[in-house]
Structure 1
Amino acid sequence: MMKEEQPNEEDVLLGVVSHVLSFTLGEFCKYGYLLAFEKDLSDLKGLVDAASMYENDYEVLEGVKDPAVQLLLQSSDKVFNCSKTYLMINSLDEFEVMTNEEFNQHASNNYHFYVDQPLGQSYTELMEETCHLYFSLMHMIYHTCCQLDLGRIDLPDELFDDFYTGFLDVIDGCGTPTEDKNIKLLYDLLFELNQDMKRMEELR
């Protein structure tokens, strides 16, 4: 009996991207609820776990008037549209990709490396953490871009010598141009999320 052929790292990384974007959506949703629990949805604080509210529960947040929550929703729309476009241009089946445990595990490694869990106990503290969240999620997505660029899950140590400089260039829209359709799509998303982070900092 022939062994089933295992996907190479480049194929695995194509799936990892979708999971990374899914984690990003989940974080924006979670922080939207955490902020809303301090104001508009204060009656639900302590009764509902914000971490259990995923992107399918954005409908409730749409009725929240807080500008910070609305900005998180706008950022979520950008990530959602990016995710759908990514699946389309790569002819990927969303169900197959999102139910793949290997893809999820590698994306989870990126997520846990960059993203901290919320500790804020007040609206002011949570706003501070929300600004930091943008930065962390953009770091995670940029890390995934580097993996795509090299076709490697484990990045070489020397890449991190200029990692931060490269990251800042990309989110400011002045990174090295790329012909890779997937990296270009993610770079465009990173630039847009950076603009949203600046807007969030103004609301802080």
Structure 2
Amino acid sequence: MDIDVGVMKPFASGYKKNSNSLSQDVEILMKYSDSHDPTDLVNPYFFEIPTSPYDASKILGQKISLQKITDAYDKLLLSHDLVIVEGIGGLMTPITQNYFVSNLISELDIDTIIVIGSKLGTVNHTMLTYEHCKQMHLKLKGFVINQTEPNGYELSNLKQQIMELTNQTVYCTIPYQKNFDLDLYIDNFTNLVNISNFGFNDV
């Protein structure tokens, strides 16, 4: 069964942008999801400094409208069967002074998958995130482990720890790639990553 999937990154920040003043992260997201939606719906806010939305909005004097975010999400949802929303930072990244990424997840009422690293300290960070999910009554579906550096926990060991400590699914582990090439990685994704837990066995 074909599923029409939309993508959204409500907030992006950083110096990198293309000639259309689009965040590099958003450009990659739209390219590999084959998104043709208006960029102002996919990414309502792009701050050209690498910091949280709360801090960037103060520095740049750009007010954040939470209604703008929810309206964009609702419009995307009208055009797609489902919309995958990419976060920014972690659950406690501030969007405004008293409103955080976890508040936005709760307001949008969306399922949540947490992407974690594999360096030492990851278990502590993951458990703090997990406890916050429970406190906020978020619909946590599980975790993905993304090994962005060669050192740290051995992946199978870390996966087992997270599953035992949280009683949640670890959908896949993404191994470290020394000479990373995004196009090549996408082409070989199903060979590099075990995604059977997602139910994509026939991909």
TM > 0.5 fold call: no
Bigger relative CO (Cα 8 Å, ≥ 6 apart): 1
The TM-score range, normalised by the shorter chain, is under 0.3
Q: State the TM-score, normalizing by the size of structure 1.
A: 0.24
Higher helix share: 1
Higher strand share: 2
Q: State the TM-score, normalizing by the size of structure 2.
A: 0.24
